[in-house]
Chains A and B, each alone.
Chain A
Amino acid sequence: MANPKVAFFKFSSCAGCLLSVLNIEPVLLDVLGVIDIEYFIMAKRDNHEGPYTIGFIEGAVTTPKEALELKKIREECAILVAFGNCACTGGVPSIKNWSGMTQEQLTKTVYAENINDPMLTSIPAKGIDFYVKTDAYLRGCAVDVGEMVELIKRALKGENPLFRPHSVCNECKLKENVCLLVSEGKPCMGSVSAAGCGALCPSLNRQCEGCRGPANDCNAASLAKTFMEDLGLSKDDVVRKFRKYAGNTPEFSKGAEAAL
């Protein structure tokens, strides 16, 4: 039986998630034994058109052209995966969505007053599921490649991967890390952010920034209140925290709104 065909695509993003695909050395050859990578501009010269079994999309959609391309890709992929935080929620590019400026003002501020290039047609940054049906999400900035391998395995078996969307605190406590928020007073977002990263940042004594987006049914408004009332963060700092990686999500919106 032929291996399933897999494609990697990139929209508005830093390419870090795609780069991390190449970092799975211990299992890379095993993975390549069960899938054929048909399209991966960053990693290979010889790329082929669809249809594909699995399409991984990195990046947010920030132009009408990207939105059209995405819809075409959707038609070519049996399983479409939002690959990394930008594709899941709009990610870091979505910070611009709250600049308060019109898109025309933004263009003129970022580029030049008199510029009139039809290429520059920025629209609010969104995750891919704003435009197309999305079958699975690999969260994180960057993605956890272990989860990517897990998703490939589950897809090959025809299963829903059912990643458990619980909090970073869960994985952090199991490592018996000293709690950065409770013990050290740092504004760690682990309690409302989705795990799967193995509590990577808190384990290195860095507070969680919420790059994997909200945990299931989390209570960002309560954490925003703790940040302001107990840790003394300013309103602006709290808003920026909740809009850094997943401001488009309803859960983190509530965190930002609680501060406003």
Chain B
Amino acid sequence: MQKIGVFVCHCGTNIAGTVDVKAVAEALSHEPGVVFAADYPYMCSESGQNLIKDAIREHGLTGVVICSCSPRMHETTFRKAAASAGLNSYMVEIANIREQCSWIHKDMKTATEKAVILGRAAIAKVALNTPLTASETPVTKRALVIGGGIAGIQTALDIADAGFEVDIVEKEPTIGGKMAQIDKTFPTLDCAACILTPKMVDCAQNEKIHIYAYSEVESVKGFVGNFTVGIKKKARYVDETKCTGCGLCTEKCPMKKTPNLFNLGLDTRSAIYIPFAQAVPKVATIDADYCNMLKNGRCGVCSKVCTAGAIDYHQQDEHIEEKYGAIVVATGFNPIKLDNFDEYAYAQSPDVVTSLELERLMNAAGPNGGTLLRPSDKTHPHTIVFVQCVGSRDTSGCGKPYCSKICCMYTAKHAMLIRDKYPDTEVYVFYIDVRTPGKNFDEFYRRAVEEYGVHYIKGMVGKVMPQKNGKLLVRASDLLAGEQLKIEADMVVLAAAIEPDKTARSLATMLTASMDTNDFFTEAHPKLRPVESPTAGIFLSGVCQGPKDIPETVAQASAAAAKVIGLLVKDKLKSNPCIAHANETLCNGCSSCERVCPYGAITYVDKEFRMPDRTTKIRRVASVNAAVCQGCGACTVACPSGAMDLSGFSNQQIMAEVDAICR
């Protein structure tokens, strides 16, 4: 039997003005289990707390009920007081007789009656409380960043700057991501490489940062503070430690007809390659699909010319296992495939390009050395039509329902750059809406229209038809003028929607991090915890969480780093003890709880049970990870057998409260 003490607070006249506190203490003193009841003007004051502590010691109280203000106000205060008197702090319950009683009722009799009932419910609950202790787990002081684009780079640099080890896993042979492919950046028009490559070099030179390029995450085990991650270093057939990045092999390689993926296949490169001049790590990679030596053993030129002896045709994939305290997802995006958009003739004409392809066509390191030429006949285009929202804000099912967010701005940038460099080129932009929220963004767009004379037309492009003369006939509607337009264009640029990288889905499964229907990672709270995944220890950086431009990505990357640093500085993680636990003898192992858990806190283990007839039986039972569970209780209701219960808010406790209120 519990020995319960009841403490009724006057809160000056806040409570005592409408509630007869003495009558409440008197009434509650007769409740079963109550051995002490008192009232006091301010329970939260030092002398009030001393009253509680003294009573705990003197009467050997095993449970404490405080009738006072909201537990959101002083629950922590009273728990600490109880703990300092040697009582487990979770043996304290609060009856909220201020916010939910004295402040809302005017009649003394009514308020007093209600206060007694609320007190009774708290007593009924505390009688079933059990001492709880927060569990502690150590933290591995090392972070993993998955994805080496600008988001991953920024996050890694910030974490390293705080003094923690951080590894970047990048699936391409170099870090840099999409930003490395971009020509200029809005709204300042500085060149992307000029601002990105110094950061890439910083990563390479930082002692705290280790880059696993051309690598992939294979497996993730563990939980916040204690992840074990399997990483596959794909064979690049070049010894990274020996290669100096001199590039001689790429010059001598006879297999020059390999599509250049960095230039999106707009030109070709050799089978052994360094993606671009400022690649980090600057190490050659052999494309096994094209290398003659790897395909049929006939060649070996690169090996002969390499003075460092770095070529290794027998290199195998390497599997590494590493421990981390926190994981940052920065897997980024890709433009969608345009297979569903036949009307724009993307597959039929090389002169219909995506915006990212246009970036490469305009880039000094691109296929045309920075001169904008039509891919089909390498002539200078005089009329260019931009089509916005190709697959964005598309509810037809062909594209994506969301706004890709970056297209309005980069199209204004493209239009402006083209008009600046080639004033004789007419530029038309077909849009649904022009969206320019962001610092200096609208000014930028207006400059495109007002200073650079770009023709912005609100309307949709219906069809693009390649003509015999090599031109592209664009049929479109001008919604504001209410007329149909026909434009004979030299090039058409499609602002393809962006989507999360395809690797993100399988990664999310490994991380037990949740995703929305569009495969963007969901954040722990859409407003208040935007860079954390609901799964503890997993953080989100960049477009993997939702469409973003570079300034936003960098801001979020640093925010994610700040959260990671906040986690890694801790030596131990203390977890909330009010969490779910499964009664193994009742558990069916049916996975219902696992499916509703937003944190991936539930796993299953095969356990041996002794049966009544002395045989043993192996059953699948749920196991809750105390470091990951946040205590929402969704699992407790999903469980049909009642095996799942929640400490601090157990089935029995809540039903005892129900009973006490309805009594």
Check if A and B associate.
Answer: no
Binding site for B on A (CB under 8 A): none
